[in-house]
Amino acid sequence: MAQMSIEMTRLSKKTHRYFGTDGIRGHVGVWPITPEFVLKLGWAVGKVLALQGNGKVLIGKDTRISGYMFESVLESGLSAAGIDTHLLGPMPTPAIAYLTRTLRAQAGIVISASHNPYYDNGIKFFSAQGTKLPDSIEFAIEEQLEQPMTMVDSAELGKAIRVVDAPGRYIEFCKSTVASDITLNGLKIVVDCAHGAAYHIAPNVFRELGAEVIETGVEPNGLNINLNCGATRPEVIQQKVLEMKADLGIALDGDGDRVVMVDHQGYILDGDDLLYIIVKDKLQRESLKGGIVGTTMTNLGLEQSFKNMGLEFVRAAIGDRYIMSELIQRHWYFGGEPSGHILCMEMTTTGDGIITALQVLAAMRHQAQTLADIRVGLVKYPQVLLNVKITKQDVSLTTQRIQQAIKEAENELGDKGRILLRCSGTEPLVRIMVEGEDEQNVRRLAEQLAEVVKQELGEE
């Protein structure tokens, strides 16, 4: 019987009112992504943090135009609660996690909607340790949001300063995650920054390590973030690599926490491929502590490859915070998901597209192989992913008709396939994944399931 999963977006028994799987995200101008709400959110965060001390808070953002507005109101809300802010400007999400730790801040705040278009935005948070906030703090912030907004005495208002050397600090940190004898001399690399937060960071990292860098997606105008470029449109960099006869391509998303790569033949490597390369190299060169964490979306072929290496493999819910939770609980170091969120806990505390790409490039140098050669050995099952836009509120994937459609698809796949249906934690979508040995059959089953979901949960 095929493996089937209906994944719930929120795993806690207590339900969040505002926070999703990765902070608070939505359409700009539509509650809660409004200046009024974000002002009070800054104040609520400040009130909660003030109970734990009086340290500074970092604020960084990606390049979407609404970031200017939300940066200002967050700063105002925090100031009203008596909290100082250090403004980083446009910086990748993982850079803010790193700087929160090294600058000894109480928390880091990221204004970003990651891979979403410019007209969306969101607010997410890092703890003083550079990890996602625990549920307990998120619930405390939500409780504070229900209280009337007040202001500390004028003499106690928070101050704001701009951190001018943030890019340089982070560039040096990225380079430090590979051995000092690793250079990229002789490599021609196309780097696509998705007109996002890494536009002034990523090309410099790879260039300073010796690569010839062809940069694209480095002209943000506030409206073009993720637009026909970056990790969500890898076919663009695929074409550029072939056109420029480059050795490989690196495509980041708008906030720089996920990455996909392209080899010189135009093959697109997703997060499963990259995690395989990093782990295999680590295992060949030295002992690897513990096992690997994937998600319910991780390809069955990758799971089998790790088991063949003698490594334990477990699946977490989708979202890097759940991968992180499993890694911390098990004292393991490596995990990731096909979208390109890879966690290398030996180097950093969150998914980082630049650092992931560097680990892959280091593996190529260690093994003296091309990107095309080093991924040999991983045989992935055909996997079809479809998104169905939904309009109904409080949707359930356990309706009789959806369950019947899943059961019929399971029977066709037998014991060599998987089916996953889940509600997106960031968009009004139901995501459908079908995996099996025969791609044509897998696609047909995925389309059948999508049609049933559309009829059941789509627009009335």
Q: CB 162: neighbour CB atoms within 10 A?
A: 10
Residue 24 β-bridge partners? 123
Name the catalytic one among 66, 76, 114, 127: 114
C-alpha 224/C-alpha 117 separation (Å) is: 8
C-alpha 159/C-alpha 281 separation (Å) is: 47
Half-sphere exposure (CA, 13 Å, Cβ side) for 1?
6
For the chain, the residue count is 460
Alpha helices by DSSP H, listed for 10-134, are 35-50, 66-80, 93-102
Helix (H, G, I), strand (E, B) or coil at 438: coil
Give, in order, the Cα–Cα distances in Å from 391 to each of 6, 139, 398, 418, 430: 19, 27, 17, 27, 10
Q: CB 143: neighbour CB atoms within 10 A?
A: 13
Q: Are 189 and 212 in contact (CB under 8 A)?
A: yes
Residue 143 β-bridge partners? none
Helix (H, G, I), strand (E, B) or coil at 57: strand
Helix (H, G, I), strand (E, B) or coil at 75: helix
DSSP 8-state code for residue 175: H
Q: Are 110 and 96 in contact (CB under 8 A)?
A: yes
User: Does 287 participate in catalysis according to the annotation?
Assistant: no
C-alpha 398/C-alpha 7 separation (Å) is: 11
Helix (H, G, I), strand (E, B) or coil at 5: strand
Alpha helices by DSSP H, listed for 258-399, are 271-285, 300-308, 320-330, 353-367, 371-374
Q: What DSSP assignment string belongs to 146-160? A: TSPP----GGG---E
Closest CA to 327 of 284, 294, 305: 294
Location of structure tokens 């509650």: 31
Closest CA to 319 of 6, 2, 8: 8
C-alpha angle 372/378/379, rounded to 5°? 115
Task: Tokens for 234, please give them.
Answer: 């890898």
**Which sequence positions are flagged as catalytic?**
114
